[in-house]
Structure 1
Amino acid sequence: MAKNYLNIILFTLFISSLCCYAQEVKVFTVKDFDLKDSVKTCLVSTKYGKEEYNFNKKGLLTKSVTRYSDSDYDVVLYKYANGELLEKRSETYRDNKFDPSTSIAHFFELDTTSNRKVIEKIISYDKEFLDNYIYHYDDKGDLVRMIRTNNEGTDETLVEYKKYKGEYTVTYLLNEVPLKSIRTSNRKKNGAVQKIVLTKEFLKGEPNKAIEEVFDVNELLLERQEFDYNVTEKKFVPTVRTTYNYDKNGMLESEIIADGNSTEKKEYIYQFDGEEGGNWIKKIIKPDNAYTTRKITYYKAESEKKEEE
């Protein structure tokens, strides 16, 4: 809900945008797209274009289509084995023609002979080798090392975990140079426990940007503070601050964005379908009156139809 379709943008960049540092293999489900219940398909329409998502009966994403026009679109296909990602294919279509030069395939292999290890091979549809990733996990199941190999050489990303005075920090280092750190801690405010996640990004090992996010016990995002690093003062300086408000069902009602001396407020109005899951099918953002619509189909509707027949 508070994600505001951030994941819709991020997941298309998932594995193919690993130029900065490798990321752990992620499996996307209906929850990542603000969906509930046994959703089969979801067609999202905005003034910018259309997105289509297909899920299997376990709620795993199996196909996504991003349409820029009737003839230009991208398709991403996912295959699984026992809930593990087995294959991901990113296909490009322009003027209704498949473009193999810009289409790539990701193949995953799981090795559990000792600690968990995942091997990812990336090749183009022109049969050109692009990258090979090996993800190593410790005996607790945490990702600890990622090795990337391509024609330019080999890079190693280490993932370090530290606990100190109630804070939990995960640090990513590429060839021993810091890339990113994520620190998680808790605090009590007005009698309620809140989770604080501070993410710092580094550029060539030097601090660059940061984001601090505050979540409630239901994982709803309450506050988001952005920072830029001031090289002269050698500290992070706050920039944009956003606060979020929800209704009793956890739906985002409004957000207030403060940037310097300017403040902007956005309000959200929803229309829901008649299904028990209660998914929204239209979202209006005021005062711009921009809107997003969703057309959703369910697996259970198909089952009920077969029973009636």
Structure 2
Amino acid sequence: MQLPIKAILVFHAAARAGSISRAAAELSVTPSAVSQQIQLLEVQLGISLLGKAGRGVVLTEAGERYFSMISEQIERIEEATGTIQGFRSVTTLTVRATPTLSNKWLLPRLGKLLDQHPDLEIRLDGTNEPTDFNQELVDIELRHGNGRWPGLFVEGIADEQFMPVCSPDYAAAGSLQPQDLLDHRLIHSVKSQAQWTTWFQLTEVAPQERWSRILFDRSHMAIDAAIRGMGIALESTLMMGDELKSGRLVCPVAAPPEIRIVTQWIVCPRDHLRQKKVRIFLDWLRAERDVWQAAQHEAVS
């Protein structure tokens, strides 16, 4: 059976509008053309879809069922059509990245990339969910984890240093010893690869069985909580570089133990590396990473 696409779309418009005339205005056709298409669809389906209700129309029981069954698909087609319009003149790069990396590191730098490549359109999907590249239209992912994903191109972004931080109003820089932290509220990023238990092991301080703490499942929330003076967080310099540079966060511990881990990774199928838009993004990302690393070394020296 050949699908009566035009008649289906006209029926959907009339059912959504609740009026033949309003559907006609929406579709830029005459009301009689709308009625004719709906009648053709009813004949082909062998059922009545619409009935009159004053100046409007009302769905029959079969019409309601049919409308509910086709609405989602038609709306998806409309959305896809709107998205693809102008695609020839703009190249869209879809990047998936963790919420914290998106907010704290990528977003402040993206303007430079867009200025350098005005024909490049970025869609930034901030989520921790790993991409199924066989099912999802994602060009490249910046993934949090251990870097072990067989079958994919994987490259570490940067060597991150994790350190205790807090607002300078909460505790001055270098004013505390490791054991002093047990008397303070500790902010936990529950998904972080660097946890307070590990940090205390490195300091040879035994954590208490019960301690004052607040837990977040996103590191950017933990960083913001520390800025607001809610306690002391254990976070990555990659994620809070601007806050450390501006003095909104300081390290309250004198000579803290060093924890260095790569937690953020460039991930994509290897064939994606042949795409010009992916190569542009990776060249820019690596250049920004190198600038950031140079600034870190300068701050230490």
TM-score (norm 1): 0.17
Instruction: Using CA pairs under 8 Å that are at least 6 residues apart, name the structure with larger relative contact order, 1 or 2.
Output: 2
TM-score (norm 2): 0.18
Whose radius of gyration is greater, 1 or 2?
2
Select the structure that is richer in strand.
1
